[in-house]
Amino acid sequence: MPITKTTGRQAVPLGRQERDVLYAVGCGLRDDEIATVLAIPEEAVAGHLARILAALGLRDRAAAIVHAFDCGLVAPGRGPRRQATSLPAMSPLATSPPPPAGAARHAPGPRLRISVLGPLRAWRDGQPLDLGHLRQQAVLSALALCLGRSVSRQELTDGVWGEEPPNTNVVPVYIYRLRKALHAGGGPDSVIERDRSGYRLLPGAVGVDVARVEELVTAAGGAERAGDLAEAVRACSQALDLFRGEPLAGQPGPFAELERLRLTERRIVIVQRKLDWQLRLGQHAEAIAELSALAVAQPLNEPVAAMLMRALYLSGRQGDALTVYDRTRRRLADDLGVSPGRLLRHTHRTILRGDDIRLGLTGTTR
């Protein structure tokens, strides 16, 4: 997958090694870990990351993680959507080969739903299920986020226990217990299947809230392209309603830690898209409350600050909009030692001049 940023008329592509570094950053690896995997000096990793940030117009490492996730270079629980031959098994749960196209599918039993966008929960036919203790739940979380592909026993061990694996091979025990807990009574088949590559949840028998979120976000993008911003806002709102708190709350292990970061950032991106569309629809007053709360939670997020300033200004609250700029400028200086970026400065100048701010969209992360 080519990763580029268009500047004027010229597209600035990333080189192969820079794409590999961006993927590794998106997976949450430190510079020393990336250097080990790519067999390059740690200083070279830092240099590649600096060029990536400059080429893509990103402010910091956190923005690079969000970009890798949002552009599809790294997907929840699935690693890269491209073939990364130079990065074997970098993620704790690296991508496994997809099942053969002609593989037999089990007939789905009663509908099973799993939610990871909050504390792990599962229902069968609307009835809540007992999923056991946290490590056992973490195994199920990994399978749910890798829906449709197999995860090996070693991958599960690494992802759930990290550098402190159990003394005994407990993964098959947990799989056995989860099969019993998830079993759709009346049918001989379990929703957890084992093949040569490991274990997987059968996608035809399981619905996971993360997959539904991405379906709704895709629908929102389609609605925007069709010019129906109201429908785009509605689809994004439905996606956000699926978040019930911190994703994978309380789940142990490096896999859950990484996915928690990705899904939290994903939610922020979806909120920004929805609010940007609301502003374009003229729903300024409706967006102010949510933007204010998001600005408190993300005080260094300049696109959010710019959107809040824009909403306040268009609601006749120029003084409050300028206060937001001053507050954000001070936080950037105190916490990061940097000045506001171009977007925030442009919004500030536009408000000071009293120009029509609707002519300059905020350009939120897509």
Q: How far apart are CA 155 and CA 139, in angstroms?
A: 10
Of 84-88, 131-135, 309-313, minimum mean pLDDT range = 84-88
Structure tokens at 358: 């609707």
Q: How far is residue 254 CA from its own chain's centroid?
A: 16
| Sequence-ordered list of residues with C-beta below 8 angstroms from that of 122, at least 6 positions apart, any chain | 112, 113, 114, 115, 128, 129, 131, 140, 181, 182
Average pLDDT over residues 43-51: 85
Residue 83's region, left for phi above 0, alpha for psi from -120 to 50, else beta, is: beta
Above 90 in pLDDT, residue 190?
A: no
Work out the angle between the directed axes of helices 16-26 and 42-56 (0-180°, nearest 10): 90
pLDDT for 205:
81
CA 63 – CA 163 distance, rounded (Å): 28
The predicted pLDDT at position 123 comes to 92
The crossing angle, in degrees rounded to 10, of helices 134-145 and 171-182 is 80
192 strand-pairing partners: 201
pLDDT at 103: 38
Q: Which two tokens stand for residue 70?
A: 């949002």
User: Given a cut of 50, is residue 142 above it in pLDDT?
Assistant: yes
Average pLDDT estimate for 112-129: 92
Is the pLDDT confidence value at 188 over 50? no
pLDDT digits (tens, 9 = 90+) for 60-118: 787 787 777 667 676 544 444 333 334 433 433 333 333 333 333 444 434 789 999 99
The two structure tokens encoding residue 154:
């070693």
The predicted structure's pLDDT at residue 363: 44
Mean pLDDT of 192-220: 89
Say if residue 77 is exposed, middle or buried (CB neighbours under 10 Å; 0-12, 13-18, 19+): buried
Q: Write down the pLDDT at residue 358.
A: 56
Mean pLDDT of the chain: 80
Average confidence (pLDDT) over 158-170: 87
Strands 4-7 and 10-13: antiparallel
- Evaluate if residue 178 carries a pLDDT over 60: yes
Whole-angstrom distance, CA of residue 340 vs CA of residue 348: 10
Percent of the chain topping pLDDT 90: 43
DSSP state of 132: -
Neighbouring residues of 21: CB distance < 8 A, sequence distance ≥ 6: 34, 38, 45, 48, 49, 52
Measure CA 86 to chain center: 23
Per-residue confidence (pLDDT) for residue 292, from 0 to 100: 92
Entry pTM: 0.64
Between 28 and 195, the more confident residue is 195
Is residue 220 pLDDT above 90, yes or no? Answer: yes
Q: Is 80 exceeded by the pLDDT of residue 186?
A: no
Share of the chain above pLDDT 70, in %: 80
